[in-house]
Amino acid sequence: MSETTTMTRRDPEEAGAPAGREPADRALVECESLVRIYQAEGIEVQALQGLDLRVEPREVVAVVGASGSGKSTLLGILSGLDTPTAGRVRVGSWDLTAMTRAQRVTYRRETVGFVWQQATRNLLPYLTAAQNVDFPQAVAGVPRAARAARTRELLAMLGIEECADRRPGQLSGGQQQRVAIAVGLANGPELLLADEPTGELDTTTSAEVLAALRTANAELGTTIVVVTHDPGVSEHVRRTVAIRDGRTSSEVVRSTRTRDDGTEHTVAEEFAVLDRAGRVQLPREYRAALDLVGRVRLALEEHQITVRSGREN
């Protein structure tokens, strides 16, 4: 911890890169062995139990997990609202475990944007869509003309120009969430965090909102982390990370491959995640299929490691 408490905003040069440039392999988000313990009425709840996560610049990642798996806790930490009990977390040049209150304000204004599930949390009801997008820019001190241009550009990019002069109450749920994405992007954050952004929407409208996030990623290069309990979201992103019991347990990576006849198809590959301590979680169905419980036998073979039942046979 001493290393992280002495240095907050890390200069890329200090990290071994020329000023203004990041080394090619540097992730935008790096969480290492994150632990978050809540104390509630004398009871300890371990919401995160040593979570590891890397998100590369310009990536769109879905973090999927059941209720209570620790997703909102992770987002709270990445958004700078909460701090972990132990572990390391870096976003860009910010060490989130060691920021002062003032640095947190700057981080939240400049580096991250948010989209929450409830439209009421994203938008001020008495302002129009354009005024909502203008507001965070005004707070950041952006001149009026530049704000107006940025607002127009964002609403056009997300296909909601016609909503500019309407208040949230006069917009559909999907339009509200697209305005919320524009608000989240208003100050050009490197990272956009979305907590169940489609939670209150039907399938078609959800697909539109996810498409809007992909547009933001493609047009502006914004890195996006979407947290959801909806496994269907993974069909809309290249990489999905599953969290179970406060730890990353598996990842699904989608890629487009070309067949011999030139047609393209999408392949989804599932990976288990090996953490820094060498732990890997075996999927429940694999354990059930071989009735693996308690001790198991491990064997290192030429190109693989096998896991067998530990019972005598």
Ligand X SMILES: Nc1ncnc2c1ncn2[C@@H]1O[C@H](COP(=O)(O)OP(=O)(O)OP(=O)(O)O)[C@@H](O)[C@H]1O
Question: Which positions touch ligand X (CB under 6 A)?
Answer: 38, 40, 45, 47, 65, 67-73, 229
Q: Measured from the CB atom, is 38 or 126 closer to ligand X?
A: 38
CB of 78 to ligand X, least distance (A): 12
Contact between 86 and 52 under an 8 Å Cβ cutoff? The reply is no
The Cβ of residue 197 has, within 10 Å, a number of other Cβ atoms equal to 30
CB of 69 to ligand X, least distance (A): 4
- Nearest C-alpha neighbor of 103 from the set 113, 89, 93: 93
CB of 259 to ligand X, least distance (A): 38
Q: Measured from the CB atom, is 68 or 221 closer to ligand X?
A: 68
Token output for 163: 């909503």
CB of 53 to ligand X, least distance (A): 14
Whole-angstrom distance, CA of residue 160 vs CA of residue 104: 31
Whole-angstrom distance, CA of residue 43 vs CA of residue 86: 18
Length of the chain: 313
Per-residue CA distances from 242 to 91, 210, 231, 301 (Å): 20, 18, 9, 28
Q: Measured from the CB atom, is 115 or 186 closer to ligand X?
A: 115
Per-residue CA distances from 143 to 105, 129, 138, 185 (Å): 20, 19, 7, 17
Q: Measured from the CB atom, is 166 or 229 closer to ligand X?
A: 229
Q: Measured from the CB atom, is 19 or 43 closer to ligand X?
A: 43
CB of 192 to ligand X, least distance (A): 18
Quick one: which H or E segment has residue 92?
Answer: none
Q: Measured from the CB atom, is 8 or 72 closer to ligand X?
A: 72
Instruction: Quote the DSSP letter at residue 187.
Output: T
Q: Measured from the CB atom, is 36 or 147 closer to ligand X?
A: 36
Whole-angstrom distance, CA of residue 96 vs CA of residue 290: 43
CB of 123 to ligand X, least distance (A): 21
- The rounded Cα 27 to chain-centroid distance in angstroms is 13
CB of 49 to ligand X, least distance (A): 10
The SS3 of residue 168 is helix
